[in-house]
Amino acid sequence: MTFPRASLSILLCISALACTDAPATPATPATPETTATPTPAAPEGPGDSEPISALPTVQTNMAEVELGRRLYFDPILSGDGTVSCSSCHSLDHGGAEDRRTSTGIGGHIGPINAPSVLNAGFNFRQFWDGRAEDLQDQAGGPVENPGEMGATFGQVIPRIQADEWYAARFAQVFPGGDPVTKEHITHAIAEYERSLVTPSPVDRYLGGDASALNEQQRRGYALFKSTGCAGCHSGVNVGGGSYQKMGLVEDYFALRGGEQTDADLGRFNVTHDEADRHKFKVPTLRNVAESGPYFHDGSQAQLADAVRIMARVQLGKTLSDTEVTDLVAFLGALTGELPAHARLPADQAPPSRATPSGAAEQGATGTTAE
């Protein structure tokens, strides 16, 4: 990745703690001071070596973030001007979508469920099968995927150059040379995504505020560790750090039934190594309460059912109803706050880049495809 020298000076600091001070969240006044002060008669807090860790501070370039944000919400990146990134990755749906598998340009139904873009910068690779190395590498994919946005950069670049707002911004953010390039477009989008960090009650708990989780959520976290979930869903993204077989101890695909698809092969599609058959990148569990349906095939609508299946096929365990409820309560505490800049300001809402069908109404909140 290349960072133009001039823009490096404008750095935005997104701190897990600072973000919770946003006016939108008056109920969570977590400040560095409160995390440093032990609560009197504190419930049991985190130990010294937890398998999951609090979100770190991420530095992003705000000018690039704002440019990437507009691109993210803009159907200008699709062949017929009807689909934007936010069509399939809605900020109002945990950064994912409310469908089993995606619907792209022309109503094309895709083969696989859309994962969340929130905190995606912490994943070790991108996509269920890890075929993209990082967010910038990933961002080029959907634009040119015929079933997703169905465009080419050759088509998109002149459109962006012809737009006054974009032309001015690109020249400012990427001075010198050719401002509007695939490299710069994907870089700006990736920078916006890297800024989508969502601190949650679990982060405050890990930071030392034991009261950030209620009793049930703490029981759920204890189970998450003792049952073995944290063996795979670990680290800063509570997942996102390894490939694991779906159905480690019991055949998930037999349990699910139905035809197996190419998408079910997972990492095998990339390596053609038998050992990688049915292996997937372990998904992050941050914001998982909002990002259903679940699994790469979107087969489970309810989080409780996904949890039950996980315990069974990955760990060979049958959970009681209470255990499932406690685990779900813990997972709910991984729902975080979006940073204040995440949403597109209303005055930047893309104009209806209408096609003859007029299907390009794209609201500022990006919920059009729901």
Residues annotated as part of the active site: 148
Q: CA–CA separation, 89 vs 73, rounded Å?
A: 10
Rule CB under 6 A: is residue 73 a binding residue for ligand HEC? no
What is the closest distance, in whole angstroms, from the C-beta atom of residue 313 to ligand HEC in the complex? 9
- Selected range binding ligand HEC among 18-26, 35-43, 143-151, 360-368, rule: CB under 6 A: 143-151
- The nearer residue to ligand HEC, 35 or 60, going by C-beta atoms, is 60
For residue 180, count CB atoms less than 10 angstroms from its CB and return exposed for 0-12, middle for 13-18, buried for 19 or more. buried
Rule CB under 6 A: is residue 244 a binding residue for ligand HEC? yes
Rule CB under 6 A: is residue 115 a binding residue for ligand HEC? yes
DSSP 101-161: S-B-GGG-B-SSPPPP-TTGGGSSSBSTT--BSSHHHHHHHHHH-TTTT---HHHHHHHHH
Rule CB under 6 A: is residue 291 a binding residue for ligand HEC? yes
With CB under 6 A as the contact rule, the residue among 246, 329, 334, 344 that binds ligand HEC is 246
Rule CB under 6 A: is residue 110 a binding residue for ligand HEC? yes
What is the closest distance, in whole angstroms, from the C-beta atom of residue 107 to ligand HEC in the complex? 10
- The nearer residue to ligand HEC, 45 or 141, going by C-beta atoms, is 141
For residue 273, count CB atoms less than 10 angstroms from its CB and return exposed for 0-12, middle for 13-18, buried for 19 or more. exposed
Tell me the torsion sign for CA atoms 174, 180, 186, 188: positive
Residue pair 30/209 in contact by the 8 Å Cβ criterion: yes
Rule CB under 6 A: is residue 157 a binding residue for ligand HEC? no
Q: CA–CA separation, 360 vs 182, rounded Å?
A: 23
What is the closest distance, in whole angstroms, from the C-beta atom of residue 360 to ligand HEC in the complex? 13
What is the closest distance, in whole angstroms, from the C-beta atom of residue 358 to ligand HEC in the complex? 19
Q: Residue 315's Cα: distance from chain center in Å?
A: 25
With CB under 6 A as the contact rule, the residue among 232, 329, 334, 359 that binds ligand HEC is 232
Residue pair 76/163 in contact by the 8 Å Cβ criterion: yes
With CB under 6 A as the contact rule, the residue among 181, 214, 228, 354 that binds ligand HEC is 228
With CB under 6 A as the contact rule, the residue among 58, 88, 156, 360 that binds ligand HEC is 88
Residue 294's DSSP bridge partners are 300
C-alpha distances in angstroms, 44 versus 27, 204, 215, 225, 313?
22, 14, 10, 15, 31
368: helix, strand or coil = coil
Give the total residue count for the chain.
370
Q: Which residues, including other chains, have CB under 8 Å from residue 342's CB and lie 6 or more apart?
A: 69, 91, 195, 196
- The nearer residue to ligand HEC, 79 or 283, going by C-beta atoms, is 283
- Selected range binding ligand HEC among 5-13, 168-176, 208-216, 308-316, rule: CB under 6 A: 308-316
Rule CB under 6 A: is residue 233 a binding residue for ligand HEC? yes
Question: Which x/- pattern over 261-280 shows residues binding ligand HEC (rule: CB under 6 A)?
Answer: -------------------x
Q: Give the pair of three-digit tokens for residue 303.
A: 């989080």
Residue with tokens 């934007």: 84
What is the closest distance, in whole angstroms, from the C-beta atom of residue 368 to ligand HEC in the complex? 11
Residues near ligand HEC (CB under 6 A) are 77, 83, 85, 87-89, 102, 104, 110, 112, 114-115, 117, 120, 123, 126-128, 135, 138-139, 142-143, 148-149, 189, 193, 227-229, 231-233, 244, 246, 248, 280, 282-283, 285, 288, 291, 294-296, 303, 306-307, 310-311, 314-315, 327
